[in-house]
Amino acid sequence: MSRSLSPSALAERILAGSTPAIARGITWAESGLPEFRELLALLYPRTGRARITGFTGSPGAGKSTLTAAMARLARKEQKRVGIIAVDPTSPFSGGAILGDRIRMQDLYTDPGVLIRSMATRGQFGGLARATADAVDILDASGFDEILVETVGVGQDEVEVFQLAETCVVVLTPGMGDDIQAIKAGLMEVADIFVVNKSDREGADRVVLEIMQMLEMGEHGEWLPPVLKTIAKDGTGVAALRAEVAKHQEFARGDGFAARRRERVRKRIEAIVQFELLARLRAEGGLGTSLEENVSRVEARNQDPHGAAWELLRKFNKEPHRESDGN
Amino acid sequence: MSRSLSPSALAERILAGSTPAIARGITWAESGLPEFRELLALLYPRTGRARITGFTGSPGAGKSTLTAAMARLARKEQKRVGIIAVDPTSPFSGGAILGDRIRMQDLYTDPGVLIRSMATRGQFGGLARATADAVDILDASGFDEILVETVGVGQDEVEVFQLAETCVVVLTPGMGDDIQAIKAGLMEVADIFVVNKSDREGADRVVLEIMQMLEMGEHGEWLPPVLKTIAKDGTGVAALRAEVAKHQEFARGDGFAARRRERVRKRIEAIVQFELLARLRAEGGLGTSLEENVSRVEARNQDPHGAAWELLRKFNKEPHRESDGN
- The reported pLDDT for the residue numbered A285 is 66
- Alpha-carbon separation of residue A168 from A93, A187, B270 (angstroms): 19, 11, 31
Print burial letters for A306-323: b (CB count within 10 Å at least 16), e (below 16). bbbbbbbeebbeeebeee
Residue A322 lies in a domain: no
What chain A residue is nearest to B44 in terms of C-alpha separation? Answer: A303
Which pLDDT band holds residue B242 (cuts at 50, 70, 90)? Answer: very high
Rounded CA separation B202/B179 (Å): 13
Mean pLDDT, rounded, for B183-202: 83
pLDDT band at B130, cuts 50/70/90?
Answer: confident
Which of residues 191 through 250 in chain A touch B, CB cutoff 8 A?
Answer: none
The verdict on B325 touching A (C-beta cutoff 8 Å) is no
Are both A23 and A75 inside the same structural domain?
Answer: no
Kindly state whether residue B1 falls inside one of the protein's structural domains.
no
Taking an 8 Å cut-off on Cβ atoms, the answer to whether A309 and B316 are in contact is: no
pLDDT for B164 beyond 50: yes
Rounded to an integer, the average pLDDT of B284-312 is 86
Same domain, B41 and B58: no
Share of chain B above pLDDT 90, in %: 43
Tell whether B170 is covered by a domain.
yes
pLDDT at position A154:
56
The stretch B139-144 carries a mean pLDDT of: 97
State yes or no: pLDDT of B155 exceeds 90: no
Distance from CA of A47 to the nearest CA of B (A): 8
B152 with B86, same domain: the answer is yes
d(CA A201, CA B16): 55
- The range of the structural domain enclosing residue A77 comes to 47-255
State residue B282's pLDDT score.
76
In a domain, A292, yes or no: yes
What does the pLDDT read at residue B266? 83
| Residues B77, B158 within the same domain | yes
pLDDT classification of B325: cutoffs 50, 70, 90 = very low
Looking at residue B285, its pLDDT comes to 66
Query: Which of A255, A281, A306 marks a domain boundary?
Result: A255
Task: Pick the range with the lowest mean pLDDT from A81-85, A302-306, B204-208, B287-291.
Answer: B287-291
Separation between Cα atoms, residue B314 and residue B307, nearest integer Å = 11
Q: Phi, psi at residue B220, to the nearest 5°?
A: -85, -135
The CA distances from residue A125 to A154, A193, A266, A283, B66, in Å, are 12, 26, 10, 22, 32
Q: What is the pLDDT of residue B120?
A: 54
Are B132 and B203 in a shared domain? yes
Distance CA B30, CA B52 (A): 20
| Residue A325 included in any domain | no
Specify whether A70 is located in the same domain as A124: yes
If you count residue pairs, one on A and one on B, with CB atoms under 8 Å apart, how many are there?
Answer: 239
Residue A263 backbone phi and psi in degrees, to 5: -60, -45
Structural domain count of chain B: 3
Residues of chain A with confidence (pLDDT) below 50: 122-124, 319-326
pLDDT tens per residue across span B97-115: 667 777 888 999 999 999 9
What's the CA gap between A37 and B285, in Å, rounded? 25
Q: Between chains, do B273 and A36 touch, taking CB under 8 Å as contact?
A: no
Tens digit of each residue's pLDDT (9 = 90 or more) over B56-105: 887 778 899 999 999 999 999 999 999 999 877 778 877 666 677 778 88
Report the pLDDT value the prediction gives residue A221, as an integer from 0 to 100. Answer: 80
A12: left (phi over 0), alpha (psi -120 to 50) or beta: alpha
Q: Are residues B297 and B177 in the same domain?
A: no
Confidence at residue A242, expressed as pLDDT on a 0 to 100 scale: 97
Interface of A with B in 105-164 (CB under 8 A): 120-122, 124-125, 127, 132, 136, 151, 153-158
* Residues A60 and A185 grouped into a single domain: yes
**Rounded distance, CA B20 to CA B14, Å?**
9
Q: Which DSSP helix (H) or strand (E) runs through B277?
A: helix B257-281
Over chain B, what is the mean pLDDT? 84
Nearest CB partner across the interface for B297, out of A268, A275, A290: A268
Partnered with residue A170 across adjacent β-strands are A194
For helices B19-31 and B7-15, what crossing angle results, to 10°?
130
Strands of the A145-151 sheet, one edge to the other: A113-117, A81-85, A145-151, A51-57, A166-171, A192-195, A226-228
Identify whether B175 is part of a domain: yes
**What does the pLDDT read at residue A326?**
36
- Nearest CA of chain B to the CA of A76: how many Å? 31
Give the closest of A89, A264, A272 to B312, CB-based: A272
Q: How many CB atoms lie within 10 A of CB B309?
A: 21
pLDDT greater than 50 at residue B124: no
Statement to judge: residues A27 and A123 lie in one domain: no
- Residues 6 or more apart in contact with residue A126 via CB below 8 angstroms: A32, A274
Q: Which residue has the higher pLDDT, A177 or B201?
A: B201
